[in-house]
Amino acid sequence: MSSLVSHWSIPVAELLRHPGTRREVDLSGDLGDIRVTASRVRPAVEIQVGGTIKSLDNVTVEFRGTVRAPWDGECRRCLGPAEGDLTVDVHELFERAPESEDIYPLLADRLDLEPLARDALYLELPQAPLCKADCQGLCPECGADRNTVDCGHAVDELDPRWDALRELGEKN
């Protein structure tokens, strides 16, 4: 742990003294590696967090804003590279002594945006990314990348395995 206070950590004592007051924040920086099975936000990329901190009473503040980051991963159909940008809308509460796990703690009257940003990205990273919406995937017969090669094998539209893949793809 560094002895320096993270720049993601915002002092809110003054806001807590005056319920209803606000502070705008616009921060950027990297947050280390954030990954799910098939996609990740890489350690050195710039993550942006912007929004408004507002005190609701003497112990609670809310943050409303957005978390933005580029991601990359592996296309679930062709296994080639996939990438995109995540924009996650967030609305979270912070309290001095939260009794619910849904509320983030305020430590020493500072609101730390780092765990909020990390959680938001982690939840929204695509679990089944595609390199493009109409990726043709790999030929189930010979493994050729059907985006670039016409291997001549017919696509069996009735193969139930492809129905399952299509359903998964449509959920993205």
> Where do contacts with Zn ion occur on this chain (CB under 5 A)?
75, 77-78, 80, 131, 135, 139, 141-142, 144, 151, 153
CB 135, min distance to Zn ion, A:
3
Cβ neighbours, 10 Å, residue 112: 17
Q: Which is nearer to Zn ion, 122 or 162 (CB)?
A: 162
The rounded distance, in Å, linking the Cα atoms of 151 and 135 is 16
Q: Which is nearer to Zn ion, 141 or 156 (CB)?
A: 141
CB 131, min distance to Zn ion, A:
3
State both tokens at 24.
């705008």
Q: Which is nearer to Zn ion, 48 or 136 (CB)?
A: 136
- Nearest CA among 21, 47, 22 for reference residue 33: 47
Q: Which is nearer to Zn ion, 18 or 153 (CB)?
A: 153
**Residue tagged 């990740």 (tokens):** 40
CB 159, min distance to Zn ion, A:
13
Helices and strands in the chain, H and E counts: 3, 9
CB 163, min distance to Zn ion, A:
18
SS3 for 10?
Answer: strand
Q: Name the phi and psi angles at 58, rounded to 5.
A: -80, -5
